[in-house]
Structure 1
Amino acid sequence: MPESPQPPFDLASALNIGTDLHFQLPDPEDDRIPDSEFQQQVDIAWLVCDRFDLQTEIWRGRILRVVRDREKKGGDGRGTGFLNWLKEREINKSQAYSLIELANSADTLLAEGKLDPTAIRNFSKRAFVETAKSSPEIQQLVTDAAQKGDRITRREVRQLAEEWTAMTSDLLPDEVKAKAADQTLPPRYLAPLVKELEKLPESHITLLQEEVAQEPSVDKLKQVTSDARNLAKYLHAAAQVQAINQSSVDVEMALEEALRIGCLNTASDLVKQASQLEQTIAKLYTTWKRVGSLADRLYVDTGASTPNLRSLLTCLERLAGESIEVPLDENGDRTVRLRIFADSD
């Protein structure tokens, strides 16, 4: 005989979901309460809400998942029933799938034995979401801390991730790892460096590794991280600039020279601006062609009976012709003039 489904009130009882949250919050006007005690009472209430919110969101995700899966089995194949269900409850599709993802992550962590169900209460909602998106190694570190009773916020997740990166990344020299291990280099400065180094070719990585290995200090880490970021921007932008691609300039040598004389940031910004200028010119040309085409079409459709439309066309001639004039200020004291020499179509 199949087991009958639980009534809603029994289910709520089994899940131990409270139907009401009530706190005795401190009176903000009561000067007799010390600031430290006031803050402690508020923090406790906030943490309870945060925990309740996380557990509620996980269950919402599970509910949405079963509704979606039911629709897949017996619906029209297009998910119309599920979308209507969401619409009735004023939930957008993006929000629904975000909650389903949260529920999937929670169930995965629980199923793999990485997390005890009671330890979920030690997470803030954002920390749990960030943990679910992390690598398995970071998940293990975070859930171990949660199961020991540690309060897990996004700050703790990031700190553990940074410490893991500092001790395991092959991109960091041994000298840097040693200082991270003995706490003389804070791990929070290492993760950004690894992130930027991952974007670079091997030749540039080696150069920066040697530099930071010679002087493993916080200031040097900051400088090398900035250099790595600018290197990545330079290489990415240079590959997009047609003026560079159509020439014989040695981009790599120019980059090394910029590094040697300490003007990498300027060179990187120049190449980036050049890339944006080329893209702007290309967009200007296509827009100019469109304006001219529309003006020609409107001219054919107008005549003596539409003097105002003809006046409109006359006003826009300085934008639709080969010579373009645009005032740079309201008074028209400064004007930029461009002339387009386009290849014949």
Structure 2
Amino acid sequence: MVQVPQSPSDLAAILNNPVDLDFHLPDPEDEEIPELDFQQQVDNAWLVCDRFDLQTEIWRGRILRVVRDREKKGGDGRGTGFLNWLKEREISKSQAYSLIQLANSADTLLEEGKLDPDAIRSFSKRAFIETSKASPEIQQLVTEAANKGDRITRREVRQLADEWTAMNSDLLPDEVKEMAASGSLPSRYLSPLVKEMEKLPDSHLKVLRGEVAGNPDVDTVKQATSDARNLSKYLDAAAQVQAISETTLDVEMALEEALRVGCLNTAADMVKQAAQLEQTIAKFYMTWKRLGSLADRLYVDTGASTPNLRSLLTCLERLAGEVIEVNLDDTGERTIRLKVLTDAE
């Protein structure tokens, strides 16, 4: 473990012997270097920087944690000292806590014995962060691979996560799991399907499971993923539309009919647009009321001495009045007129 310098002389000794990152990068204009060798040399240099950066970020997180905890114990209770410390070093609060979280994740994996200290070098920075956010099962798989000396990038983390999801999700039929285990059906296509299926009630899973089990190939899985996504959008949007909730419409039956005739995407988009329209109308009404109130106030405060302000009010009458007019093009040939009526009227 690197020892923290305890005195200025110790610090000077370290600075006199800095870490040497003097790479011998390939000449980009040397056509005699094969493309494969060029990419390999660049990739190796990048990997060293990535690993060095990761370990630096972890230690910075530990340093920030120490400063924060010291402030908690002896500060003013509001964290002012810690915030000032960050300000002096031009570190944002969100950045600081992101680094502390990274350090916490690293220490947790090390303390629980899941990760060998030397294995951290096997991770890219992004891969480690992704691992720290993953479920314990995924962390176990990734750290086992890292402890073996495998290079861990975000691709490896996601691949392991997809494989675990495909083999352990109760939402996928056994036929699909068997094909995923044999490698005939790539697991990367199954993880998005599971994520979308998790959003749906049980009543809508049977059809999707049946389709995938009956024809377990990539195209069917992609289509099922799209259908599941549209189902989720439909259900979420339908719950927000007052025009639907205030009637006796059987939303579930309408959904089943859309599935049967193959127009689920259109139905889902229509309901989503209806929800957005209602929200837009509500926002429009509140803005229109605000504009009218401001126009009335300005009318009271002005008179013959403010002809230009009166002209401004006249210009805006077409928007603040009971009938609203808006031109849809620059020529003024297409105009939309809206009349606002409320229950009070």
Same fold (TM over 0.5): yes
Cα distance in structure 1, aligned partners of 2:164 and 2:7? 46
- Report deviation, 1:182: 1.0
What residue identity is the alignment partner of 2:192? Answer: P
Corresponding position: 1:294 with 2:294: yes
- Please say if residues 171 and 194 of structure 2, whose CA atoms lie closer than 8 Å, have aligned partners that are also in contact: yes
Equivalent residue runs for 1:1-345 within 5 Å: 6-7=6-7, 18-344=18-344
- Please say if residues 5 and 11 of structure 2, whose CA atoms lie closer than 8 Å, have aligned partners that are also in contact: no
- Report deviation, 1:175: 0.9
What SS is found at the alignment partner of 2:330? coil
What SS is found at the alignment partner of 2:324? strand
Compared with structure 1, are the counterparts of its residues 312 and 205 closer, same or farther at alpha carbon in structure 2 (3 Å cutoff)?
Answer: same
What residue identity is the alignment partner of 2:201? Answer: P
Cα distance in structure 2, aligned partners of 1:26 and 1:12? 33
What residue identity is the alignment partner of 1:58? Answer: I
1:267-320 Cα deviation digits (max 9, x unpaired): 000000000000000000000000000111111111111111111111000000
Cα distance in structure 2, aligned partners of 1:8 and 1:319? 71
Cα distance in structure 2, aligned partners of 1:197 and 1:67? 44
What residue identity is the alignment partner of 1:42? Answer: V
What residue identity is the alignment partner of 1:274? Answer: A
Cα distance in structure 1, aligned partners of 2:77 and 2:139? 36
What residue identity is the alignment partner of 1:46? Answer: W
Cα distance in structure 2, aligned partners of 1:77 and 1:36? 57
Cα distance in structure 2, aligned partners of 1:87 and 1:326? 50
Runs of 4+ in 1 over 6 A off after TM superposition: 11-14
- Report deviation, 1:330: 1.7
What residue identity is the alignment partner of 2:197? Answer: L
Cα distance in structure 1, aligned partners of 2:227 and 2:152? 33
1:68-99 Cα deviation digits (max 9, x unpaired): 11111111111111111111111111111000
1:4-50 Cα deviation digits (max 9, x unpaired): 98347758999xx9544211111112222222221111111100100
What residue identity is the alignment partner of 2:260? Answer: R
Cα distance in structure 1, aligned partners of 2:35 and 2:224? 43
Compared with structure 1, are the counterparts of its residues 52 and 8 closer, same or farther at alpha carbon in structure 2 (3 Å cutoff)?
Answer: farther
What residue identity is the alignment partner of 2:296? Answer: D
What SS is found at the alignment partner of 2:219? helix
- Report deviation, 1:331: 1.9
Moved more, 210-219 or 143-152: 210-219
Compared with structure 1, are the counterparts of its residues 218 and 12 closer, same or farther at alpha carbon in structure 2 (3 Å cutoff)?
Answer: farther
Cα distance in structure 1, aligned partners of 2:130 and 2:26? 32
What SS is found at the alignment partner of 2:326? strand
Q: Mind listing any 5+ residue stretches in structure 1 that lack a counterpart?
A: none
Q: Once the two structures are aligned, what percentage of the paired residues are identical?
A: 78
Cα distance in structure 1, aligned partners of 2:171 and 2:8? 54
Question: In the comparison of the two structures, how many residue pairs are matched?
Answer: 340
Q: Mind listing any 5+ residue stretches in structure 2 that lack a counterpart?
A: none
- Report deviation, 1:343: 2.6
What SS is found at the alignment partner of 2:325? strand
Cα distance in structure 1, aligned partners of 2:80 and 2:12? 29
What SS is found at the alignment partner of 1:337? strand
What residue identity is the alignment partner of 1:95? Answer: Q
Cα distance in structure 2, aligned partners of 1:55 and 1:6? 21
Cα distance in structure 1, aligned partners of 2:29 and 2:182? 47
- Report deviation, 1:230: 0.3
- Report deviation, 1:209: 1.0
What residue identity is the alignment partner of 1:281? Answer: I
Moved more, 291-300 or 326-335: 326-335
Compared with structure 1, are the counterparts of its residues 60 and 13 closer, same or farther at alpha carbon in structure 2 (3 Å cutoff)?
Answer: farther
What SS is found at the alignment partner of 2:248? coil
What residue identity is the alignment partner of 2:83? Answer: L
Cα distance in structure 1, aligned partners of 2:8 and 2:113? 29
Compared with structure 1, are the counterparts of its residues 117 and 323 closer, same or farther at alpha carbon in structure 2 (3 Å cutoff)?
Answer: same
Moved more, 124-133 or 302-311: 302-311
- Please say if residues 240 and 275 of structure 2, whose CA atoms lie closer than 8 Å, have aligned partners that are also in contact: yes
What residue identity is the alignment partner of 1:143? Answer: T
